Structure 1
Amino acid sequence: METSKPRDYFFDNLKFILIVLVVVGHVLEPLCSVSRTANTMYNFIYFFHIPLFVFVTGHFSKKLDKLGHLVALYVVFETLYAIFDFYVNRRTEFNITFFTPYWVNWYLLAVVLWKIILPYFTRLRFPVLIAVVIAVLAGYTSSELGYFLSIMRAVNFFPFFLAGYYMNRESLNVLFRRSVTIVSAITAAVTYTVLYAYGQELKCEWLWGSYSYEAIGHPEWYAGVYRIAVFLVTVILSAAVLSLTPAGKTRVSELGTRTMYPFLLHGFLLKYAIAQGLYKYIDTSLELWLLVAAAVAATILLSMKWIAAGFVWLFRPNLSFLVKKRDPASGHVQT
């Protein structure tokens, strides 16, 4: 008699932690130029939260499914954000393009690209190393590429997607040893302290993965070394975060199964708050931390089961009318 494989709550916990950091990072971004604390937290978060999300996505991409669903989701939210931006920011012209993703939508398009090229990379020897080399070399390309089709970001974060794809779950168990966890906590604390003391000049463009070296202001021939350095810090911090993530079931485990909802919906709340001038009221450290707390609360709210139930029609549209049906008897496509 077959028994179902027990759920691995580690990834649920990790995804919840990461989606909280996504929302917190976006909330902090407008304050980075005026607050040392906000700038430090933002850079610290951005060193690992996107790469780790990509890593998890790659790990659960053993099958090339859901491409149609991702494309549909991209088209729906690209349209919704364009309409929202037009009205909330009182644009004089309505602008929508499916070739330059609006803000968070880049991730949906990038996942589609990763899954399309994945079968070709799996045929290669040393696929992760090759992906890293391509990512480093991509920084020398035209500065005009930018956000077009999420190509630059897709290339820069693809090594983490591949790492997740090839990762054996059991290999992570070494990270849960008490000694490793202690070292991880120290590593995270030291990194944050160094960023607070010396990281104010760090350009966040290095962490976004969206721009060429020239666009960031480093046309030097050796600029690729900086990309490699960023990768190394990212790998170290990512390992630390994995080590510090609870492996068993927690109170947030269930919320971690619905990260797509806060990911795509929180932008409407934040962009509306920005349009209403929220940030002109954020002047003190207390107000900054209250804003962070509000971001965490919003993430929890948007991860609730009733939110998923209420928006299921939007996140899982019925596209069966676009697909030709097969005759169950003959197996032929019906016209």
Structure 2
Amino acid sequence: MPRTRDPHLDNVRAVLIALVVVGHIAQQGDSRAADVLSTWIYSFHMPAFVVVSGYLSRRYTGTGDQVWSIVRGLLVPYVFFQVLLAALQTILFDAPFNAHLTTPAFSLWFLLALAAWRLLTPLLRSLRYPLAVAVAISVLTPFDPGLDQQLSAARILGFLPFYVLGLQLRPEHLTALRRPGARAAGAACLALALGAALVLAPRSSVAVFYLNGSYGAESLTDVAGAVVRVLALVAGLLGTAAVLAVVPATAQAWTRVGTRTLYVYAWQAVLLYPLTKSDLLAERPWQTEVAVAVLGGLLLTALLGSGPWTALTRRLTEPSVAWLRTHPETGTEPDRTPPSA
């Protein structure tokens, strides 16, 4: 029997995917307000997304159907959108066509990362202290100056603690975060995070929250980088708990957007990619930059998460590639967990 969807998690996913879009637009501005907004968003939105992805992957055991769902729902879309972005770059900017399948374009890194985390799930479950191991990996691997975004390696390792945390969460933990007291604490935590972003934005780079390279690449010593990485992990943890606490647990008018996050995530990369190569938002009044980021991001999320857009692009976003599979399993329950992109 298919599992009943949890509207709370769908609401959380809808909020987080909206923040992804808002954050990507805000990063194209150059005002302090845009920096503050993007710093605040990046301090917690991807950690929270990864935690939810881990939580929804708890039933992953590596069956043939589950592995196939990774191929069909994550790797095939990754290849398609990677090629599409390369084609856009050639058409719009007269650049040589090169899809660079080993180096994710724009925001497509998450599709590769989620595929890797799910494939690693049985191994992670076999560890006695998986969260401690994941934190050590996240903090220690950036000592390697060669760590980069090839095959999303840096982010797979950097965000690994949040995926493992999601694997270890139980429904009762989410229930505890839905209590009124937790909701008030979560709202206060997000407000404090915004205040911290006001202080930090002019003094540090939002890139410390990307977790996408070595400490040297961020011009940090190994010791300073390790300290900053630990602080980023703590910020992501607190922000994740806060989001889970403040987002409504009951179905809302926008809940269904949370069931279509793959469509929003993949297509916003296509539609916003030209913006990342231009200065259309730069040097505008800060009010304009923030308004375009917030209102434009919410409207684009609503469009890409709508029923008509899903129906229109389904064959491209989730193509039928059964012909690639030579030995389909029979007699096993298929994995119905949707990609948490």
**TM-score scaled to structure 1, two decimals?**
0.90
CA contact (8 A) 2:28 2:275 kept: no
Alignment RMSD (CA, Å): 2.0
CA contact (8 A) 1:213 1:223 kept: yes
Q: CA deviation at 1:59?
A: 1.2
Aligned residue identity for 1:76: F
Q: Matched residues in 2 for 1:229 and 1:72: separation?
A: 35
Q: Which of 146, 150, 153 matches 1:151?
A: 153
SS at match of 1:171: helix
Q: Which of 1, 6, 9 matches 1:8?
A: 6
CA contact (8 A) 2:33 2:286 kept: no
Change (3 A) 1:211 1:326: closer
Q: CA deviation at 1:135?
A: 0.7
- The residue that corresponds to 1:54 in the other structure is 50
Q: Matched residues in 2 for 1:225 and 1:280: separation?
A: 32
Change (3 A) 1:249 1:216: same
Q: Matched residues in 1 for 2:328 and 2:257: separation?
A: 37
CA contact (8 A) 1:16 1:259 kept: yes
CA contact (8 A) 1:88 1:275 kept: no
Aligned residue identity for 2:55: H
- The residue that corresponds to 2:116 in the other structure is 113
CA contact (8 A) 1:282 1:288 kept: no
1:135 is the counterpart of 2:131: no
Q: Matched residues in 2 for 1:269 and 1:10: separation?
A: 28
Q: CA deviation at 1:298?
A: 0.8
- The residue that corresponds to 2:337 in the other structure is none
1:35 is the counterpart of 2:39: no
SS at match of 1:152: helix
Aligned residue identity for 1:101: P
SS at match of 2:143: coil
SS at match of 1:200: coil
Q: CA deviation at 1:87?
A: 1.0
Q: Deviations over 1:161-189 (max 9, x none)?
A: 11111210221112122222212212211
Larger Rg: 1
CA contact (8 A) 2:281 2:289 kept: no
SS at match of 1:223: helix
Q: Deviations over 1:176-235 (max 9, x none)?
A: 222222122122112211221343222222100101111101124353122111111211
Pairs within 5 Å for 1:1-335: 6-31=4-29, 34-61=30-57, 62-63=59-60, 64=62, 65=66, 66-69=69-72, 70-91=74-95, 93-142=96-145, 144-275=146-277, 277-280=279-282, 282-286=284-288, 288-324=290-326
- The residue that corresponds to 1:332 in the other structure is none
Q: Matched residues in 2 for 1:84 and 1:67: separation?
A: 26
Q: CA deviation at 1:5?
A: 5.4
Q: Matched residues in 2 for 1:179 and 1:90: separation?
A: 55
Q: Matched residues in 1 for 2:32 and 2:77: separation?
A: 36
CA contact (8 A) 1:255 1:303 kept: yes
Aligned residue identity for 1:176: R
SS at match of 2:159: helix
CA contact (8 A) 2:48 2:239 kept: no
Change (3 A) 1:184 1:298: same
**TM-score scaled to structure 2, two decimals?**
0.89
Q: CA deviation at 1:273?
A: 3.9
Q: CA deviation at 1:145?
A: 2.7
Aligned residue identity for 1:209: L
Aligned residue identity for 2:27: E
Q: CA deviation at 1:44?
A: 0.7
SS at match of 2:255: coil
Q: Matched residues in 1 for 2:122 and 2:284: separation?
A: 48
Unpaired stretches in structure 2, ≥5 consecutive residues: 331-341
Q: Matched residues in 2 for 1:224 and 1:7: separation?
A: 39
Change (3 A) 1:60 1:327: closer
- The residue that corresponds to 2:339 in the other structure is none
Unpaired stretches in structure 1, ≥5 consecutive residues: 329-335
Q: Could you say which structure has the greater relative contact order, defined with CA pairs below 8 angstroms and 6 or more residues apart?
A: 2
SS at match of 1:104: coil
Which moves more between the two structures, 319-328 or 188-197?
A: 319-328
Aligned residue identity for 1:10: H
Q: CA deviation at 1:15?
A: 0.5
Identity across the alignment (%): 28
Aligned residue identity for 2:128: R
Aligned residue identity for 2:108: N
CA contact (8 A) 1:128 1:159 kept: yes
